Amino acid sequence: MTTVDAASSPSPFVSGVSSITEADAELSEALMAAELAPLLPALAYLTGDMSLLRETLRPDPLLLNLPFSGYTDEQQAEIRSLALDAVVRYRDGGCVPSPAPCDEALLRMLEHTVGGEDMADYLPLLEEELAYKGEDRRAPSWNADELAPDVDISVVIVGAGMSGILAAHRLQQAGVPFTILDKNDDVGGTWFEAAYPGCRVDNPNHNYSYSSAQRHDWPFHYSPQGVLRDYFRQCADHFDVRRFVQFGCTVQQSVWSEADQTWTVSYTDADGTDQSVTANIVISAVGQLNRPRFPTEIEGFGSFAGETMHSAQWRPELSLAGKRVVCIGTGASALQFLPHVAEGASTLVITQRTAPWLAPTPDYHETVPEGLRWLYGHVPSYSEFNRFAIFWRMGDGALEAVRVDPAWESDGSSVSMISEFSRQMLVEYFNAEFDGRADLLQKVVPNYPVGAKRMVRDNGVWARTLKRPNVQLVTDRIARITTTGIEMADGTVHEADVILYGTGYEASKFLTPMTVKGRDGVDLHEHWNGDARAYLGVAIPGFPNFFCLYGPNTNIVINGSIIYFSECGVRYILNLVELLLAQRASSVEVRADVHDAFNERVDAENAAMAWGWSSVSSWYKNDLGRVSQNWPFTLLEYWQRTKEADPSDFQLSFPER
C-alpha cells in the first residue's frame, strides 16, 4: 500500500497522512493511546515486517470487545514496544511505505487483527470495505451515457438520510438522473431528527461511516448526534447531491403504471401543495427509525393532562428542571436521555418492562485521545485496520455468541456455552456497578440471552442515574395512564408533571404511512399484511422497478453498521439499473419463487439466533411475532449476495416496439 494522500482519497475528510518527524518520546506517548489489536498488523502492512505478528500477541477472539482487546499488561507493553521500534524505523527510513503485500501476507495481517482463522473468503470484501488503497472501490464501473445513450431513465429517491444520500451519489457517478424528496428541511434523516439529549451512535465511527468518506480525525469514538448530522451534511455537499433534494416534501403515494412502465410519485410540497413526479424507478430510503411508537395499548393513553414528549420528537424548550417526570420505557434512547433528565428533574420515575443488557464501554462518551488521533493521521493504514477490527468484533466475529446451540440446556437465559460465558461476564459488570444496591440489582439484570434485544452501551452512567436519590426504577406493570400520572398494577400511583415516552419507533411498519401500489394496483401494505418481506431487503415481487434501502431483514442486533447494508444495497440497485439499461428493458422485478425461498431461509436462520429463539419482546419482531427486522447471516454473505445481481433471479419486461 502506498500512503493515502489527498489526491488519491475519495474522502473529503482525509487530507493526507503526514510524515513522521516526532522524537521517540513523543511517539512512545502517542502509542500509550493506541487501539492495540490493529496496531501491529497495520505496522506489518506499512513496513513489510511480518515478524511483528507474533503468535503470543494474537488477540483472543472471545475477549476482543473488552478494554485493550483483552490483552494482559505484559502483552500491552510488548505490543507498544514492538510498535515503537517499527514506527521509529519507518520514520528514520524517510516514511516510505513498503510495497503492498501479497494476498497471503495480507490474510495473515487480517487474521492477526482479530485472532481469526480461515478468513480467506473475507479478503476481497475487506480490501473493498477498508478502501485502504485510497480509491473508491464501490463506485459504479459504468455510465448511462456510454451504456445506453438512446435510453431515457429517471429515478425518484424518497428520503435524504444516510441511505438516500448514498444512492444519489452512486446514481450521479453512473450518470443516471434522479430527484430526492424528503419531508425534512435538511439531509441526515435520523441524525437530523433525533435531537434528544445524550443521543449518539453506538457503533464506533471508524465503522459507522461511508467506506469512501472515511475520517481519521473523528472527535469522539461514538459521535453525538450533532457530529453525525454535520458529517452527513458535509458528505451531501461533497458528493454534490444536495441540489437535487426537494426539502419539505412528504411523499403520500407511489403508483405503478403497467402501460407506461413508470411510477407516479405524489407528494405534498413545502407550501402544502399537492405535486407529482413520474419516474422509471423509485428507491425508498425512508429508514426504519423515524416514526415514533407510542404505548397506545396502555389504558388511558392520551388522557394525561400534563406535558408529554417522545424521544423522537424532543422539544428542548420544554424544561424538565424541577418537574416530576415519569418515563415509560428503558430502551436504547431512554438510557441515553434519562441521565440528563435525572440531573434536573425533582423526581424521575422510570418504568421498565424488560431490562436491557449493558455493554461495558468505558470510552463511550470520551473524545478520541490526542495520541490516537495522531496515530491515525500519521501511520498509514492504521485507521483502516482499526475499522476492520471494529467491523469484525461487532459483526461476524460476534455472531457465534448469539447462535442457538440446539443441544444447550437452558432456562431461557442463554443459548449456548459462549452465550452463557458472555452472560456471566456481563453479570459481573452489573454486580460491580450496582454493588451495595441489591434492590436495584434484582431489577436490572436481564433474564433473557445476550443478543435477544439490542444491547445498550454503558460507561457507568446507568447505575449512577438509578442510584440517585430523586430516581426510582419501577418494574411493575402500568395499569393505566391517568390525567395526573400513572397507576401501577399494584395500585401505586406516580403523579407527574411530564410523561416521557422512551418507547422507540414503529420499526416493523416498513414504509408507512406511504402508500405504494404496484402491478395490478396491488397495495404494498395490504400485500404485506403487517409482515414486510423483500428479497435481500431490496426487491418485492409485484413491484417492478421499486427498491428499498434499509428494508425488511437488513437490520443487525450486535451493533454492526447500517451504513454497510446500505452500501451493499445501493450497489445491488445500481446493478439492476445497469441491467435495465444494458438490456434496453423497461422494468425489472424479482421472481416470487426466488423471493419466497430466500425468506424461508431467513426465517429458519432467525429462529436459530438468540433474537428469534427467545420469547422476550423486542422491536425486531412484528405484530405477528416474525423477525422482520434482522439479517441473521454473516455480513460477508450480504456482501457476496449483493455484489452483483443474478439476472436469473429477476424477470425483465421490454417496451413495446
Ligand X SMILES: Cc1cc2nc3c(=O)[nH]c(=O)nc-3n(C[C@H](O)[C@H](O)[C@H](O)COP(=O)(O)OP(=O)(O)OC[C@H]3O[C@@H](n4cnc5c(N)ncnc54)[C@H](O)[C@@H]3O)c2cc1C
Residues of the shown chain interacting with ligand X in the complex, contacts defined by CB under 6 A: 158-164, 181-184, 189-190, 194, 199, 201-203, 208, 250-251, 285-287, 289-290, 333, 514, 549-550, 561-562
**Nearer to ligand X (CB atom), residue 51 or residue 512:** 512
CA distance 569 to 170: 11
To ligand X, the closest distance from the beta carbon of 224 in angstroms equals 11
Residue 252 Cβ vs ligand X, minimum distance, rounded to whole Å: 7
Residue 350's H or E segment, with its range, is strand 347-351
Q: How far is the CB of 155 from ligand X (least distance, A)?
A: 15
CA–CA separation, 384 and 458 (whole Å): 26
- The least distance separating ligand X from the CB of residue 260, rounded to whole angstroms, comes to 23
Q: Residue 488: count other Cβ atoms within 10 Å of its Cβ.
A: 17
d(CA 166, CA 10): 14
Q: Which residue lies nearer to ligand X by CB, 38 or 159?
A: 159
Distance set, CA 428 to CA 51, 377, 431, 445 (Å):
37, 37, 5, 10
Say how far apart CA 140 and CA 143 lie, in whole Å.
8
Distant-in-sequence, close-in-space partners of 566: CB < 8 Å, separation ≥ 6: 162, 163, 166, 167, 285, 549, 550
Q: Is the peptide bond before 513 cis (omega within 30 degrees of 0)?
A: yes
Q: Are 595 and 539 in contact (CB under 8 A)?
A: yes
Which is nearest to 179 in space by CA: 249, 89, 79? 249
Of the pair 90, 220, the CB lying nearest ligand X is at: 220
Q: Of 127 and 202, which has the nearer Cβ to ligand X?
A: 202
Per DSSP, the chain holds a count of helices (H) and strands (E) of: 20, 21
Residues 416, 409: Cα–Cα separation, whole Å? 8
Which CA distances in Å does 105 have to 42, 47, 53? 12, 12, 11
What's the min distance (Å) between Cβ of 312 and ligand X? 7
Give least dist CB 437 to ligand X, A: 28
Q: Which is nearer to ligand X, 333 or 416 (CB)?
A: 333
Residue 380 or 395: the one with the smaller Cβ distance to ligand X is 395
CB nearer to ligand X: pick between 208 and 650: 208
Residues 604 and 489: their CA atoms lie apart, in Å, by 37
Q: Kindly state the DSSP code that residue 219 receives in the 8-state scheme.
A: S
Q: Which is nearer to ligand X, 342 or 549 (CB)?
A: 549
CB 160, min distance to ligand X, A: 5
Residue closer to ligand X by CB (options 194, 594) is: 194
Q: How far is the CB of 386 from ligand X (least distance, A)?
A: 17
The single residue listed with the C-alpha cell 512512545 is 28
- The cell numbers describing 637, all together, are 454473505
**Cα–Cα distance for residue pair 38/94, rounded to 1 Å:** 23
Judged by beta carbon, residue 416 or residue 555, the one nearer ligand X is 555
Q: How far apart are CA 511 and CA 284, in angstroms?
A: 8
CB of 251 to ligand X, least distance (A): 4
What is the nearest approach in angstroms of ligand X to the Cβ of residue 509? 12
Cα dist from 270 to 184, 248, 608, 655, whole Å = 9, 4, 46, 35
